[in-house]
A and B are shown apart, each in its own frame.
Chain A
Amino acid sequence: MSALLEVSGLTTSFLTASGYLPAIEDVNFAIEKGETLGIVGESGCGKSVTSLSIMQLLSSNGKIQKGSILFEGKQLVGLKDTSMRKIRGNDIAMIFQEPMTSLNPVHKIGKQIGESLRIHRGLNKEQSKQKAVDLLKLVGIPRAEDIADEYPHRLSGGMRQRVMIAIAMACDPKLLIADEPTTALDVTIQAQILDLMRKLKAEREMSIMLITHDLGVVAEMCDRVVVMYAGKVVEQGAVRDIFRKPTHPYTIGLLSSIPRLEDRQQRLSSIPGNVPSIEVMPAGCRFASRCPHATQRCADDEPSLLSVTDNHQARCWLVDEKGVAV
């Protein structure tokens, strides 16, 4: 199987008062066909910048400085906007975090779902309306005909996220980028939305790039995980390996900050400190200042992604010393 999406050496920078500073550096990962890849990390670690770089939708002060993004073997970096537009919404679709603001309040639901069909498939109004109703049924919205004629403010958050998924599914994309799709929803609705995404993925043989900070969602949805910290990939591997044998101290920290049913804990553990800001990024390991295992070597040199096993890498010197960390 060749990879559907291959990101290598991706560095995206933003113009700040002190010149261009990288928000993500040397990011590498691949998504296979039909695979769900989770991208995990706390706020500001570069998850969303990665997805916007893939879509080529960076704001005007951001640019991709290095690296390549291959989608079905086609280079997306530097692709002309006219060609990129044919990919957006058609081959790669995106759903956003805030269902309350992601829908245009002045257009009816049906019209918004039909939008990409009119753009990419040249459907007329009636055809796209009919297809919109089908899509609403697909995402499990009751009374699809009525809802298609409603404005977004009549729908709840969960319903709107279903509509967003319907919009994304309209052109049968090969890759769905979901940027924190369930963060704004309450837990029962989260489960429904995740179920829906899983069902659609299986039906349509679609790949999903799931951006989240919720490891529970990752465990439930993903085949492989990329853990990001301060703009770099710090650990990647199969979900099973990451959860059973987390290697990077940051991943370990993330996992131990989840409450567990089996053992009674007085307090949840947390990772002390904050992500360093991009203006004062340390030269060595970026996690060193918060890491319980940090040594002088960590402060001096930055480790590369070191192999733990064949499909499991971590950016940590502990791997180098012991083979397996901690």
Chain B
Amino acid sequence: MAHMMADSSPTTGLKQRLAHPPTKVRSKFVRVLRAYPLVFIGGLMVLALIFVAVFADKLATFNPNFQFANGLAPDGAPLAPNHTFIMGTDDLGRDVYSRLLFGARVSLEVGVFASLISLFIGTTLGIISGYYGGFVDSVIMRITDIMLAFPFILFVVALVAVLSPSITNIFIAIGVLGWAVTARIVRAEVMKVKEFEYVQAARALGSRQWRILFKIILPNIMAPVIVLTTLAIGNNMLLESTLSYLGIGVQPPTASWGSMLSEGQQVFEYAPWLLYYPGLALMLAVLGFNLLGDGLRELFNPRRVR
């Protein structure tokens, strides 16, 4: 708020000074940054990941799928990190650094798109369920219960098996199966928010149903949904690597952090860098999204921004 009323009072005409002279008002960005440094750190990590994924072909030193003849030791063992291959090579003589960069692309793509699909399905069903209640609510919630009770990995395995494994099918499978938690949270939030007087007030203003749902209720439930989605991106990246690790995710030779871990596991004893780098990348990426999600929860709540 600006501090402007310095001169004379309109009612008494007396000159008055301010008890607390206005100080320089910091921009909202700076204030948020100081209050929640974790948003900043998480945001930087996510930005770095996005940068790497987008410019993977510019940053990579080699073709990630090329099996170099000089990429293996004479006895056929992978090469440790050196000047040519800065993160070493894998057991087929491919450059780990380049594979890691291209793997970021796959991870991010699956994480983001799967989460968006879950977000869309979960929010839509959750809003309908929470707002209308009754029979519709019961049906949607029972479906949600089934989704939550079903072994998730098994479900994805079955779905991917039917759809045949490809990046697109993986994120569709993860997204379509992962909406249940979102739907529940959205439903609970809608049930809480719809009882507030401002929803009644909006009706008394002559708002249409869709206006109440999407302009009045939706913005009020977005904070937890955004946090959930950000955390879900990290989670879905982990899930993708799990699927790839199990061999039903991204198919060779395409690089993914999960498949790199899975391949590296076989030669772990004498080539540990094959697990270190993709494992570290995965951990940092998920951590970045989690920090960002926690920070956003604070940021998107108008009452908490100082």
Contacts and interface: CB of A to CB of B under 8 A. Distances in A.
Q: Are A and B interaction partners? A: yes
A101 interface: yes
Interface residues of B, number: 23
A93 interface: yes
Interface in A95-129: 96-98, 101-107, 115-116, 119-120
A150 interface: yes
Interface string A203-220: 000000000000000000
Given A96-B197, A151-B302, A153-B302, A104 B202 contact: yes
Interface stretch (A81-89, A190-198, A247-255, A274-282): A81-89
B204 A93 contact: yes
Contacts of A154: 1
Given A98-B197, A104-B220, A105-B220, A89 B204 contact: yes
A101 B198 contact: yes
B208 interface: yes
Contacts of B5: 143
Given A57-B203, A153-B303, A85 B198 contact: no
A146 B208 CA distance: 29
A101 B196 contact: yes
A11 interface: no
Given A104-B198, A104-B216, A146-B2, A119 B303 contact: no
A61 B203 CA distance: 17
B13 interface: no
A96 B302 contact: no
Name, among A87, A96, A97, the residue most crowded by chain B CB atoms within 10 Å (CB to CB): A96
B202 to A, nearest CB: 7
B23 to A, nearest CB: 18
Contact of A94 (B198, B204, B208, B211): B204
Nearest to A98: B197
Interface in B210-263: 211, 216, 219-220, 222
Interface string B2-13: 101100000000
B207 interface: yes
Interface string B180-202: 00000000000000001110111
Nearest to A177: B204
Contact of B4 (A96, A107, A143): A143
Name, among B205, B211, B222, B303, the residue most crowded by chain A CB atoms within 10 Å (CB to CB): B205
A55 interface: yes
Contacts of B207: 85, 89, 115, 119
Contacts of A166: none
Contact of A146 (B1, B202, B222, B302): B1
Query: Could you say which interface size class chain A belongs to?
Result: 20 to 34
B206 interface: yes
B55 to A, nearest CB: 36
Contacts of B216: 104
Contacts of A151: 302
A167 interface: yes
Contacts of B211: 119
A89 to B, nearest CB: 4
A132 to B, nearest CB: 13
A102 B205 CA distance: 12
Contacts of A36: none
Nearest to B204: A94
A41 to B, nearest CB: 21
B206 A120 contact: yes
B205 A115 contact: yes
A90 interface: yes
Contacts of B201: 94, 96, 102-103, 164, 167
Contacts of A93: 204-205
A68 B220 CA distance: 37
B204 A88 contact: yes
B206 A85 contact: yes
Contacts of A153: 302-303
A57 B220 contact: no
A88 B200 contact: no
A96 B208 CA distance: 20
B209 to A, nearest CB: 9
10 contacts: A57-B200, A85-B208, A88-B206, A89-B206, A98-B197, A101-B198, A103-B198, A104-B220, A143-B5, A153-B302
Interface of A: 55, 57, 85-90, 93-94, 96-98, 101-107, 115-116, 119-120, 143, 146, 150-151, 153-154, 164, 167
Given A55-B204, A107-B219, 4 more contacts: A90-B206, A105-B220, A106-B219, A143-B5
Shortest beta-carbon contacts, A-B, top 5:
A89-B205, A88-B206, A89-B206, A94-B204, A106-B219
